[in-house]
Amino acid sequence: MSVSQLFEEAYTGLKSLVVGLGITGKAFCQPQVTVIYPKQEVDNLSSFRGHVELIGKDDDPSVPRCVACGACVKACPSNCLTIQCPVPVKEGDEGKPVVMGPAPQKGSKTPAVVIVDFSLCSLCGQCARACPVDSLQFSDNPYMVRLDRKEFQIDLLARLRRMAAE
């Protein structure tokens, strides 16, 4: 390698270093892009896919469309859904307290308990896909901070009633 080549290489090398400084220097003067979160709002929450929630009937939004068939429970890869209905009363057992059993139960067309355990959920949407009456959808609730994992057992019926009331 000749001396001139050597110095040419050194020159281009030094130039690239100066160009690099120029770029970071320019960035230094540009406005920042950080969203300082609790003080500023994040603007794309509407498309966020949170835990599943029930969809109410068109005529009565506080009652879910759900027919308590149990398809979503079976479809869930992580077993995070619980749907319970009253177990049909056997003959001779009338008057005893109502026992809840996993859906489907004979004679029950609405669920008595719908719980999603969000600490297990991986948000895959298989439950919503499996639902025959389109009663499940993703919520867009990103504020999911709890102190105990048990608190992630979300009562969807209560949530639906609350949403309908608002």
The DSSP output letter for 129 is H
Q: Which is nearer to another protein, 12 or 62 (CB)?
A: 12
Verify binding: residue 1, another protein, rule CB under 8 A: no
What mask of x and - would describe binding to another protein in positions 20 to 39, judged by CB under 8 A?
Answer: xx-xxx-xx-x-xxx-x---
Least distance in Å: CB of 29 to another protein? 8
Say how many residues touch another protein, by CB under 8 A. Answer: 36
Binding of residue 49 to another protein (CB under 8 A): yes
User: Measured between alpha carbons, how far is 82 from 114 in angstroms, rounded to an integer?
Assistant: 6
Neighbours of 111 (CB within 10 A): 24
In this complex, which beta carbon is closest to another protein, that of residue 138 or of residue 152? 138
Exposure on the CB side of residue 13, measured as CA atoms within 13 A? 6
Q: Cα torsion at 155, 160, 165, 166 (round to 10°)?
A: 100
Q: Is 165 in the site for another protein (CB under 8 A)?
A: no
